[in-house]
């Protein structure tokens, strides 16, 4: 129909967001998921998640502290970070990016306080055993409450519950707002759907659980007191992962089954987009990274440790790819010229493969630091002993 | 010299000024400091509402506007505030050319403004949408929010940049540089609030259309005789040729265009 028309000249528009942005979204999402899994025990009282609740909470904290470095790296004027806090508040209602000012401060502070309360008895112990600097340091971490009587433990419990309960909507917001950032852009065919925050949350639960399936065995095997991997916990998490995948698939099905046949002007472009990325989306993102882990989680395979760890890796990677295909893919779609653009990240420099790798470096370093400061291993051990004693 | 009295006085005054600045309302602003201070460059002509009419019957695709804009606004190499897309319509020997000059539409409902988290991008009272290059932190949200791709990061200033309707020239009573240079007289600029302006007369006389009306941005750049099929090409398949891009290569190496035939 349009064959008789061709472009002689048009300009390639500049696109703003590179590899840092999908990485940022992946980090905040996985953090929200880790927090929610920890709240299973703290708020909803699911006893079987008790042993990993503390570890998962710390993981949520570290992921969220590492995440914003991606954003800063993506800025063209990172030195003007303060402007984000000082000006432009009149756009608060219409610029989801602005919500980040409040969320990215409130959420990590909340997790930190919750973790400090959870580990308070251990800090007190270390404070009493320690001397000099270490004593002072652990005194700070107790937030000045050094009593261990029944009343203050009860208070800890209540505070932990409240913070966990407040934290759930906050965790949902911290990741949901990133979905809003994209969903609010009506100029972008792929992004502009009210389902975007839900899509992001659903897939975040998948990546967060996947990450736990990778980190938990490493930490339990090499750094915990008993040096033993809790295989039944791994199987439980694998099944949880499978349920999260079911939710994710349902939301994605809703999204695509609406946008593709019923979307207005976007329909044609979405067909183009998905045929361009057919192999990646269908075979890799859906088949390999969602359906396969779901089969593992619902079948006996979930008792095989090696397979479960591999499942964790691929489901976490799959969600990263989904973030990539959404953030980068959305920007590939033409709006003022014919033809799709293609993004190839730089290797070095700002917004490059190396900067994302460095961000992972920051994440690992922070995780190690937090794991050294917080006695997650002792705390985890008490739950296992509790379980053993109970069953005897 | 540390003991130089004038220097000490300077430091003292500077310190007080800095303190005052930090505690004044401008240090924490709903908008941005320039607008709070009612700087005329931020307010514009409060009585006017500027608009442009592009009469495509007159456009010959000479790109004089493209060149004039680049010179006037010191737009960096390979970046453009305005540009004329060129199309070929029909098959040989029955062919003709089509042109669509494009620039920021200074939308009445600008999606670039509402998403800006620093207030760096805003709409002046006269309808001109501008970027405060001192405030912008280069997040790129506006680049993604503009349905017309009319923003870019200026390679020299490293902040979001775009057409300003040559606000600095308007201030001196001059026309935007693209308008002044247009050989066919295809670009007409003026105040919509003034019924006697050429723009108002054109808008009253001819039917006009805007690009992508469904986006709801209410563009203030109006086209006479716009072939809607030309606009459709913008959102069309990757199968179309782009001779210039093929010849000159790619503009931004991080975002090259897919090769022809990949779809
Ligand atoms: S054309 Fe784009 S940059 Fe210009 S005002 Fe409209 S949305 Fe903003
Ligand atoms: S790049 Fe600058 S002008 Fe654009 S949204 Fe970000 S801060 Fe605002």
* Whole-angstrom distance, CA of residue A325 vs CA of residue A190: 10
Tell me, in angstroms, the distance from the centre of ligand 2 to residue B207's CA.
35
Which helix or strand (DSSP H or E) is residue B21 part of? Answer: helix B5-23
Residue nearest to atom 5 of ligand 1 (CA): B106
Which helix or strand (DSSP H or E) is residue B84 part of? Answer: strand B83-91
- Buried (b) or exposed (e) across B150-181, using 16+ Cβ within 10 A? bbbbbeebebbbbbbbbbebbeeeebbbbbbb
Place of tokens 């590179």: A18
* Whole-angstrom distance, CA of residue B23 vs CA of residue A206: 46
* Whole-angstrom distance, CA of residue A218 vs CA of residue A368: 12
Residue A386 has what pLDDT?
65
Tell me, in angstroms, the distance from the centre of ligand 1 to residue A32's CA.
34
Residue B152 has what pLDDT?
94
- Which residues 6+ apart lie within 8 Å of B254 measured at CB? A15, A18, A343, A344, A345, A346
Residue A42 has what pLDDT?
84
Selected residue of B254, B259, B260 to mutate for chain A interface (largest A Cβ count, 10 A) = B254
Torsions phi, psi for B261 (to 5 deg): 90, -15
Residue B211 has what pLDDT?
94
* Whole-angstrom distance, CA of residue A292 vs CA of residue A253: 17
Residue A337 has what pLDDT?
77
Residue B116 has what pLDDT?
97
Ligand 1 pocket by Cβ (under 6 Å): B 104-107, 110-112, 129, 146, 148, 150-151, 162, 217
Q: Which is higher by pLDDT, B108 or B241?
A: B108
Residue A1 has what pLDDT?
41
Say how many CA atoms lie within 13 Å of A61 toward its Cβ: 23
Q: Six-digit token pair at A279?
A: 């192999």
Residue B19 has what pLDDT?
43
Q: Is the Cβ of B1 closer than 8 Å to some Cβ of chain A?
A: no
Place of tokens 């029944």: A150
Among the partner-chain residues B138, B214, B253, the one whose CB lies closest to the CB of A75 is: B138
Tell me, in angstroms, the distance from the centre of ligand 1 to residue A212's CA.
44
Q: Six-digit token pair at A329?
A: 């893919």
Residue B115 has what pLDDT?
97
Among the partner-chain residues B89, B97, B135, the one whose CB lies closest to the CB of A4 is: B89
Residue A94 has what pLDDT?
95
Asked whether the beta carbons of residue A86 and residue B115 sit closer than 8 angstroms, the reply is no
CA distances from A372 to A59, A115, A127, B250 (A): 13, 14, 15, 49
Q: Is the Cβ of B76 closer than 8 Å to some Cβ of chain A?
A: no
Q: Which residues of A touch B85 (CB under 8 A)?
A: 7, 9-11, 336-337
Q: Report H helices in A119-195.
A: 120-129, 132-141, 150-183
Which chain A residue has its CA at the smallest distance from B137's CA?
A77
* Whole-angstrom distance, CA of residue B64 vs CA of residue B234: 22
Question: CA nearest A6: which of B66, B59, B257, B236?
Answer: B236
Residue B196 has what pLDDT?
97
CA distances from A354 to A26, B28, B158, B243 (A): 17, 36, 21, 35
Which chain A residue has its CA at the smallest distance from B262's CA?
A276
Which chain A residue has its CA at the smallest distance from B230's CA?
A5
Rounded to a whole number of angstroms, the distance between the first and last alpha carbons of chain B is 70
Q: Which ligand is nearest to the CA of B145?
A: 1
Atom of ligand 1 nearest to the CA of A187: 7
Q: Which residues of B touch A11 (CB under 8 A)?
A: 80, 83, 85, 251
Residue B11 has what pLDDT?
44
Region of residue A349 (left: phi > 0; alpha: psi -120 to 50; beta: else): left
Q: Six-digit token pair at A353?
A: 């493969």
Q: Which residues of A touch B262 (CB under 8 A)?
A: 276, 340
Residue A37 has what pLDDT?
95
Residue A131 has what pLDDT?
86
Q: Which residues of B touch A265 (CB under 8 A)?
A: 214, 235
Burial (CB count within 10 angstroms: exposed 0-12, middle 13-18, buried 19+), residue B189: buried
Which helix or strand (DSSP H or E) is residue B102 part of? Answer: strand B94-102
Tell me, in angstroms, the distance from the centre of ligand 1 to residue B138's CA.
16
* Whole-angstrom distance, CA of residue A356 vs CA of residue A251: 28
Q: Six-digit token pair at A209?
A: 């659980």
Question: CA nearest B125: which of B39, B220, B49?
Answer: B49
Tell me, in angstroms, the distance from the centre of ligand 2 to residue A177's CA.
18
Cβ-contact A293, A315 below 8 angstroms: yes
Asked whether the beta carbons of residue A95 and residue B214 sit closer than 8 angstroms, the reply is no
Q: Six-digit token pair at A73?
A: 């790296």
Per-residue tens of pLDDT for chain A, all 392 residues:
445 677 777 777 888 999 999 999 999 999 999 999 999 988 888 888 999 999 999 999 999 999 999 999 999 999 999 999 999 999 999 999 999 989 999 999 999 999 999 999 999 998 888 888 888 899 899 888 888 888 999 999 999 999 999 999 999 999 999 999 999 999 999 999 999 999 999 999 999 999 999 999 999 999 998 899 999 999 999 999 999 999 999 999 999 998 888 877 677 788 888 888 999 999 999 999 999 999 999 999 999 999 999 999 999 999 999 999 999 999 988 888 777 888 889 899 889 999 999 999 999 999 999 999 999 999 999 988 865 443 32
ipTM, 2 dp: 0.92
Residue B237 has what pLDDT?
47
pLDDT (mean) for B4-13 = 46
Residue B258 has what pLDDT?
58
Place of tokens 């992972």: A360
Tell me, in angstroms, the distance from the centre of ligand 1 to residue B78's CA.
20
Asked whether the beta carbons of residue A2 and residue B114 sit closer than 8 angstroms, the reply is no
Residue B21 has pLDDT above 90, yes or no: no
Torsions phi, psi for A42 (to 5 deg): -75, -35
Q: Is the Cβ of B62 closer than 8 Å to some Cβ of chain A?
A: no
Residue B253 has what pLDDT?
55
Dihedral angle, C-alpha A224, A225, A228, A234, nearest 10 °? -50
* Integer Rg of chain B from CA: 22
Residue B20 has pLDDT above 50, yes or no: no
Among the partner-chain residues A76, A90, A344, the one whose CB lies closest to the CB of B158 is: A76
Asked whether the beta carbons of residue A95 and residue B141 sit closer than 8 angstroms, the reply is yes
Q: Report H helices in B116-210.
A: 141-145, 167-171, 177-181, 198-205
Band of residue B37 on the pLDDT scale cut at 50, 70, 90: confident
Say how many CA atoms lie within 13 Å of A175 toward its Cβ: 34
Q: Report H helices in chain A.
A: 20-42, 50-66, 68-74, 81-86, 96-118, 120-129, 132-141, 150-183, 196-222, 231-262, 266-276, 278, 292-298, 305-332, 353-373, 376-391
Asked whether the beta carbons of residue A342 and residue B257 sit closer than 8 angstroms, the reply is yes
In this structure, of A200-209, B71-80, B173-182, the range with the lowest mean pLDDT score is: B71-80
Residue A372 has what pLDDT?
93
Give me the residues of B, 154-193, that contact A with CB < 8 A.
Answer: 158-159
Torsions phi, psi for A230 (to 5 deg): -80, 95
């Amino acid at each position: 129909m349009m064959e008789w028309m061709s472009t002689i000249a048009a300009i390639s528009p500049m696109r703003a967001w590179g590899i840092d942005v999908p990485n940022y979204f992946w980090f905040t999402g996985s953090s929200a998921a880790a927090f929610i899994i920890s709240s299973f025990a703290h708020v909803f009282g699911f006893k079987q998640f008790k042993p990993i609740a503390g570890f998962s909470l710390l993981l949520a904290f570290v992921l969220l502290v590492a995440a914003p470095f991606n954003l800063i790296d993506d800025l063209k004027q990172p030195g003007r970070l303060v402007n984000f806090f000082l000006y432009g508040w009149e756009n608060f209602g219409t610029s989801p990016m602005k919500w980040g000012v409040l969320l990215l401060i409130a959420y990590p502070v909340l997790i930190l306080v919750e973790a400090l309360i959870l580990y308070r008895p251990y800090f007190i112990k270390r404070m009493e055993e320690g001397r000099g600097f270490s004593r002072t340091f652990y005194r700070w971490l107790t937030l000045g409450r050094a009593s261990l009587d029944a009343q203050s433990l009860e208070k800890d419990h209540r505070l932990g519950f409240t913070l966990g309960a407040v934290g759930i909507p906050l965790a949902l917001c911290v990741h949901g707002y990133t979905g809003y950032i994209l969903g609010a852009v009506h100029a972008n065919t792929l992004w502009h759907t009210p389902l975007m925050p839900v899509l992001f949350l659903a897939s975040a639960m998948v990546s967060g659980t996947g990450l736990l399936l990778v980190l938990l065995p490493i930490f339990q095997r090499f750094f915990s007191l008993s040096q033993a991997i809790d295989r039944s916990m791994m199987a439980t998490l694998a099944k949880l992962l499978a349920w999260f995948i079911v939710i994710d698939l349902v939301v994605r099905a809703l999204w695509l089954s609406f946008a593709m046949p019923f979307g207005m002007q976007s329909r044609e472009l979405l067909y183009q987009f998905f045929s361009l990325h057919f192999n990646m989306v269908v075979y890799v993102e859906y088949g390999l990274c969602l359906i396969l882990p779901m089969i593992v989680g619902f079948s006996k395979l979930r008792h095989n440790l090696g397979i479960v760890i591999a499942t964790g890796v691929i489901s976490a990677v799959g969600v990263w790819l989904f973030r990539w295909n959404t953030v980068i893919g959305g920007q590939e779609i033409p709006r003022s010229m014919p033809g799709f653009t293609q993004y190839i990240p730089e290797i070095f420099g700002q917004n490059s493969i190396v900067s994302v790798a460095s961000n992972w470096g920051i994440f690992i370093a922070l995780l190690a630091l937090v794991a050294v400061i917080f006695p997650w291993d002792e705390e985890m051990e008490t739950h296992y002993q509790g379980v053993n004693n109970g069953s005897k | 010299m540390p003991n130089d009295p004038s220097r000490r006085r300077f430091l003292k005054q500077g310190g007080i000024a800095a303190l005052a600045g930090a505690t004044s309302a401008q240090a924490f602003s709903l908008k941005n400091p320039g607008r709070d201070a009612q700087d005329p460059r931020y307010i514009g002509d409060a009585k006017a509402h500027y608009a442009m009419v592009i009469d495509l019957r007159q456009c010959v695709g000479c790109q004089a506007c493209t060149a004039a804009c680049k010179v006037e606004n010191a737009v960096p190499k390979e970046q453009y505030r305005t540009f004329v897309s060129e199309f070929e319509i029909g098959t040989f020997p029955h062919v003709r050319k089509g042109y669509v000059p494009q620039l920021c539409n200074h939308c009445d409902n600008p999606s670039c403004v509402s998403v800006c988290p620093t207030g760096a991008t805003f709409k002046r009272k006269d309808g001109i949408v501008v970027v405060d290059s001192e405030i912008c932190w280069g997040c790129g949200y506006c680049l993604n929010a503009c349905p017309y791709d009319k923003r870019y990061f200026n390679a020299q200033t490293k902040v979001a940049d775009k057409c300003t309707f040559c606000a600095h020239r308007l201030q001196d009573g001059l026309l935007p540089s693209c308008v002044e240079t247009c050989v066919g007289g295809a670009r007409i600029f003026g105040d919509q609030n003034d019924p006697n302006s050429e723009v108002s007369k054109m808008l009253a006389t001819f039917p006009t259309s805007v690009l992508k009306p469904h986006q709801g941005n209410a563009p203030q750049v109006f086209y006479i005789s716009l072939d809607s099929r030309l606009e459709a090409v913008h959102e069309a398949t990757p199968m179309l040729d782009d001779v210039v891009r093929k010849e000159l290569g790619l503009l931004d190496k991080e975002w090259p265009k897919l090769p022809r035939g990949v779809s």
